[in-house]
Amino acid sequence: MKRIFVVLAVIAFSLSMQAQNKIFSKYATMDGIEFVCINKAMFNLGTKFINAAGGEDLDKLGSLDKMLIISSETTDGKKQIDKDINILTTDEDYELLMSSHSSGGDNVFIFTNKRKPHELIIGTKEQKQSSMIVIIGNFTKEDVSHFLNQ
């Protein structure tokens, strides 16, 4: 009985992780989209090399689990990214932390997931390009503030 419970818990956890990234994972195979996924192992490796070389202290990078960088300059790709940014602005699970609009038509949005507070999304809508950066990890609001003030 205990084994069944453990198996069900693992399945439920993996499904919740899939649902969390569903809005973003579709971009991995879309034409006209630049998609980069950086996983935890790469952050750990990069942190060790930079620290060993006497570089900046980047230990906080080790608390990141994943970063997705999604960008497009094509009309269809830009429309899809803009659509998903607009969905985030009205989605009750996401909180808009900051928005910036310029007279040139450039817009920047920063969101966090209310139910999963360790997810930060930065979306940009420009005239010729749109992009999203999704940061998932174990970081605090103070870490985000420190990151944005650098």
Q: Is the pLDDT of residue 44 over 80?
A: no
| Predicted pLDDT of residue 109 | 93
| Predicted pLDDT of residue 88 | 92
Mean pLDDT of 78-89: 93
Identity of residue 148 = L
| Predicted pLDDT of residue 40 | 76
Q: Look at residues 135, 75, 140 and name the one whose alpha carbon lies nearest to residue 111.
A: 135
pLDDT tens-place string over residues 7-22? 333 344 444 444 445 6
pLDDT tens-place string over residues 133-148? 998 887 766 666 665 5
Residue 106: how many CA atoms within 13 Å on its side-chain side?
5
Burial of 70 (0-12, 13-18, 19+ CB in 10 A): buried
pLDDT tens-place string over residues 46-68? 555 554 445 555 555 557 788 88
Q: Which residues contact 92 (CB under 8 A, 6 or more apart)?
A: 114
Q: Is the pLDDT of residue 82 over 80?
A: yes
- The model carries a pTM of 0.71
Query: Which of 23-27, 60-64, 112-116 has the least mean pLDDT?
Result: 60-64
Average pLDDT along the chain: 75
Structural contact between residues 84 and 76, judged by C-beta atoms closer than 8 angstroms: no
Mean pLDDT of 104-127: 87
